[in-house]
Structure 1
Amino acid sequence: MSFFSFGRKPRFFSHEETSRIIAAIREAETKTSGEIRVFIERRCKYVNPIDRAAEIFWNLQMDHTDERNGILVYVASRDHQVAIWGDEGIHRIAGTEFWQNEVTRLITHFSRHAYAEGIVHVVNDIGGVLAEHFPYKPGTDKNELPDDIVFGD
């Protein structure tokens, strides 16, 4: 299946790929109080995809998590741009190099047309860092943000 599809309502992932990505998000979040979201759109409205990822992050109110540990994986399919935006709580711990390595991992998978696989791997990596620094607290943790993939224009 082509990641870069044409038509009125694009299908970026098959049903099975979508289910795998959502399952990876849910699995990662069972081990952490952190929140992971994936946002896919055709075109990046800015020159720098990090700026667009930040805008989407705030529009989705991902900065409203209790521990400021939300993370957005952003993909602009037609512009071939990706970015990862971590809120201040997790960014302070993970640092810029971690995010850059994860973006490189995404790009490597995407260059092999392994789009869903790349996102699943990155979600797993992010989940590991979140679990280490923001472990799940039984009885008090709640899913603060939806786990579904968000598709923009």
Structure 2
Amino acid sequence: MTTFARLFKHLRTTSAAGRRAFPSDTLKAIEAAITEGERKHRAEVRLIVEPALGLQEVLAGMSPRERARALFAQYGVWDTEENCGVLVYINLADHQVEIVADRGVGKVISASDWQTVCRTMTEGFARNDYHGSTLAALAQINALLQQHYPDDGSTRNQLSDNPVML
């Protein structure tokens, strides 16, 4: 895709598109799924939805992966006691889902497992099922984290469970 075509896509994808894909009921369900999952494991999950990148980011050729890494740092997902933060980043204009896992999680959960989770979301998004596919992906993430970071009674919530709409 050319820079111009990508720029046009990002300019066309407004915050209203984000609200249609992720209305308040869906955001509340996502928060509840994150909260419930974190009761069963010691990891921390953040979910960020961004309808589109800004003009400068698109012109600079910023990829969704690069943006996810920047948000991982900006929102402090890396700053957990066991290096067990996980960011789920959704870019609506690029139709991309990126998962950035802190180094502790990255050592125990494979890239193919994360790709399976991303596929759950992108396939659902292609059917306009943002609600169900996001909740299904969070269930997959929580199961993976419960397997590798089971709750041992010492858990405390280190990051907000609120999904972020940019």
TM-score computed with the length of structure 1 as normaliser: 0.88
Q: Does 1:59 align with 2:74?
A: yes
How much has 1:105 moved relative to structure 2? 1.2
Matched, 1:150 2:164: yes
The sequence identity of aligned pairs, in percent, is 28
**Consecutive unaligned residues in structure 1, runs of 5 or more:** none
Partners of 1:10 and 1:74 lie apart in 2 by 13
Spell out the pairing of 1:69-80 with structure 2 (5 A cutoff). Answer: 69-80=84-95
Inter-CA distance 41–116: structure 2 relative to 1 (3 Å threshold)? same
Deviates more, 1:38-47 or 1:106-115: 38-47
- The CA deviation string for residues 42-92 of structure 1, in whole angstroms up to 9 with x for no partner, is 224454212211110111111110111111111111222221111111111
Query: Structure 2 stretches of 5 or more lacking a match?
Result: 1-11
The residue aligned with 1:114 is 129
Larger radius of gyration: 2
Letter in 2 for 1:84: I
Q: How many matched pairs?
A: 148
Would the alpha carbon gap of residues 23 and 97 (structure 1) be closer, same or farther in structure 2, given more than 3 Å must change?
Answer: same
Secondary structure of the residue aligned to 1:56 is: helix
SS where residue 54 of structure 1 aligns?
A: helix
Q: CA RMSD in A?
A: 2.0
2:45–2:87 CA contact under 8 A, matched in 1: yes
The alpha-carbon deviation at position 127 of structure 1 amounts to 0.6
Aligned partner (choices 133, 139, 142) of residue 127 of structure 1:
142
Q: How far, CA to CA, are the matches of 1:49 and 1:7 in structure 2?
A: 17
Aligned-partner SS, 1:102: helix
